[in-house]
Amino acid sequence: MLNFLSLTTMFFVSLAVAALSAVLLLHPRVPLTFVRIHTGIITLPALTALVSLITNHTNGIFGPWHFDALGWLMAFFILTIGLIVQRYSVRYLLGERSYRKYFALLTLTTGAASMTWLCNDFRLLLACWAATLLGMTLLIGLNREWQVARKAASFSGRQFLLSWLFSFVAIIWLAQVSGHWQFSLAISDDGLRQLDSWERTGINLLLVLAVVIPAAQWPFHRWLLDSAVAPTPVSAVMHAGFVNVGGIMLTRFAPLLSGDFAQIFLLVLAGISVLLGTGIMLVQVDYKRQLVASTIAQMGFMLVQCALGAYEAAIIHLILHGLFKAGLFMQAGSAVRHYERISRTPDRLSFFWKVVGGVLGLLVGVVYWLTAPGEGYQLISSLILGWSLSFAWTQMIAYGQGTIERMAGFSVVAGMALVFGFIHYVLSGVLHQAVYQHTQPSMLVAIFALFILVSGSTIGAWLGRHASSGSFAVLYLWLVRLGDPHPVTVESHPNYLVKYISRGGNYK
């Protein structure tokens, strides 16, 4: 059996080979058919991370690296997303002028991102995270001939630089006060005892600001709307593996954040982002920007989980959301189709089945919460489980037409529940020892979260009953404006194509 040192060596060697393959691909004399070989090469680090995740059940520190289940899981997840998207892009982007550059940048960016969460040295972590931010900026502006893409990349790059500076100041501050550059020592009990309460709050506030920017949370959400001009595969990687950084970083710094005032600050920004992202998604007509708004809301919910101390739930959420959103982006081209609207007229049994679904969701949520009522993770999971079951039951069963359709809907709901239970069981087993568990939300944080949930539901219900009112019109137009990107990142058609056509269809 491979030992710990052999696996880590194989992982970094495979990453180095993948990076060398990416650089080699940039040479114009290398045939484009090498791309298929390259996508085979980048499979190696993902497989090595998977083997390490399965076989390595203990924490291991090797030089500036910290190998644990969370780090291996994130490395495997990021590299797998990059592999899937690159395989998808082999034919999708064929003919693009930046074809070679795209594969090289994406390989280097996902490689740097995968190493970020394996770092045990603060300086190395900052370097890897800076490389990830730079790579994502270059990917957004991949088409340099298109002015809109350059503007979007410029704005996103400035936002990313601000995020990195926040994290730089926070990490340097923590390292200086704790007296350790090693991550594991700085956030240990002995290291945290070196911090005064105001220093702890200051560092946490900087970390929160550092993570809400790449997570596209209000008021820093506009960069993600601007980035919709990036190629669809770039958007898939961005929404699947890049915006999730907030949940991973806050989980790593959980011992520092737990019980601090910064949790309330995070909850406020994330709660507002959930409401605004959902509203923008409902009023947008552009499909990619609907997905962007959905990501804003989903990342807000993930950060709400972190604010409540449910770090395990946040990691599971970001993984499932990443896989789901990557799939949506890669099939975005088939989103526009002609179809006939199907009108459903609820029968007399619909109301009864809706009540049954609501009661069933409530019972399942309460029973699940009572299995461990003192854990913040259990509270969040019970809310998600109960609401999801009630919603699925209403859509698949209560609104079904006739007995056969309701039976089919019940079969689908039951199958989804089994799949969810299996995935949840596997990921919980992997993360239980690696994720900070000894935390639960303070009463103030829990009350504030409940207030956001109730107020959002109340406002939504009121607007649904007053869709023709002036307040609804004002809110609708405000959300439309809030969901619009910067004017300089919007064109009715790509102006650079005029130059392309004038040259007879020759890019060169």
Give per-residue pLDDT as tens, 102-122.
Answer: 899 999 999 999 898 888 888
Q: Mean pLDDT over residues 398-403, rounded?
A: 69
Which of these, 38, 40, 47, lies nearest to 10 by C-alpha position? Answer: 47
Residue bearing the bigger pLDDT, 272 or 352: 272
Q: Mean pLDDT over residues 482-501, rounded?
A: 64
- The three-point CA angle 366-372-376 to 5° equals 90
Contacts of 13 (CB under 8 A, 6+ apart): none
| Contact yes or no for 140/152 (Cβ under 8 A) | yes
Q: What integer pLDDT is reported at residue 447 of this predicted model?
A: 62
Which of these, 316, 283, 274, lies nearest to 453 by C-alpha position? Answer: 274
Amino acid at 117: W
Q: What integer pLDDT is reported at residue 482 of this predicted model?
A: 75
Q: What integer pLDDT is reported at residue 354 of this predicted model?
A: 75
Q: What integer pLDDT is reported at residue 339 of this predicted model?
A: 46
Q: What is the pLDDT of residues 375-389, one digit of tens each?
A: 555 666 677 777 777
Amino acid at 378: Q
Q: What is the pLDDT of residues 266-303, one digit of tens each?
A: 888 888 888 888 888 877 777 777 888 888 888 888 88
Contacts of 294 (CB under 8 A, 6+ apart): 277, 281, 325
Contacts of 49 (CB under 8 A, 6+ apart): 11, 72, 75, 76, 79, 114
Q: Mean pLDDT over residues 124-130, rounded?
A: 92
Cis peptide bond prior to 373, omega within 30° of 0: no
Q: What is the DSSP string of 66-120?
A: EE-HHHHHHHHHHHHHHHHHHHHHHHHTTT-TTHHHHHHHHHHHHHHHHHHTTB-
Query: Which band of pLDDT confidence, cut at 50, 70 and 90, is reported for residue 134?
Result: very high
Give yes or no for residue 256 having a pLDDT over 90: no
Q: Which residues of 116-126 are buried (b: 16+ CB within 10 A; e: fewer)?
A: bbbbbbbebbb
The fraction of the chain above a pLDDT of 90, given in percent, is 11
Measured between alpha carbons, how far is 237 from 341 in angstroms, rounded to an integer? 32
Q: Mean pLDDT over residues 219-228, rounded?
A: 85
Query: Which band of pLDDT confidence, cut at 50, 70 and 90, is reported for residue 508?
Result: very low
Measured between alpha carbons, how far is 292 from 298 in angstroms, rounded to an integer? 10
The residue whose two tokens read 């790593």 is 252
Q: What integer pLDDT is reported at residue 353 of this predicted model?
A: 73
Biggest distance spanned by C-alpha atoms of the chain: 70
3-state secondary structure 393-441: HHHHHHCCCHHHHHHHHHHHHHHHHHHHHHHHHHHHHHHCCCCCCCCCC
Question: Phi/psi at 336 (nearest 5 deg)?
Answer: -95, 115
Least confident of 39-53, 214-228, 438-452: 438-452
Measured between alpha carbons, how far is 46 from 15 in angstroms, rounded to an integer? 9
Look at residue 60 and give its three-state secondary structure.
strand
Query: Which band of pLDDT confidence, cut at 50, 70 and 90, is reported for residue 498?
Result: low
Residue bearing the bigger pLDDT, 276 or 348: 276
Q: Mean pLDDT over residues 459-477, rounded?
A: 67
For 101-213, strand residue ranges (E) read none
Give yes or no for residue 465 having a pLDDT over 80: no
3-state secondary structure 428-488: HHHHCCCCCCCCCCCHHHHHHHHHHHHHHHHHHHHHHHCCCCHHHHHHHHHHHHHCCCCHH
Query: Which band of pLDDT confidence, cut at 50, 70 and 90, is reported for residue 170?
Result: very high
Q: Mean pLDDT over residues 218-231, rounded?
A: 84
Measured between alpha carbons, how far is 33 from 38 in angstroms, rounded to an integer? 9
Q: What is the pLDDT of residues 419-430, one digit of tens each?
A: 777 777 777 777
Give yes or no for residue 40 having a pLDDT over 80: yes
Measured between alpha carbons, how far is 305 from 301 in angstroms, rounded to an integer? 6
Measured between alpha carbons, how far is 87 from 89 in angstroms, rounded to an integer? 5
Which of these, 267, 153, 291, 151, lies nearest to 218 by C-alpha position? Answer: 267
Q: Which residues of 368-407 are buried (b: 16+ CB within 10 A; e: fewer)?
A: bbeeeeebbbbbbbbbbbbebbbebbbebbbbbeeeeebe
Phi-psi region of 389 (alpha: psi -120 to 50; beta: other; left: phi over 0): alpha
Residue 496 corresponds to which tokens in the numbers above?
Answer: 């650079």
Look at residue 62 and give its three-state secondary structure.
strand
Amino acid at 419: V
Query: Which band of pLDDT confidence, cut at 50, 70 and 90, is reported for residue 350?
Result: low
Q: What integer pLDDT is reported at residue 460 of this predicted model?
A: 60
Determine the distance from the C-alpha atom of residue 336 to the mean position of all C-alpha atoms in its chain, rounded to a whole number: 25
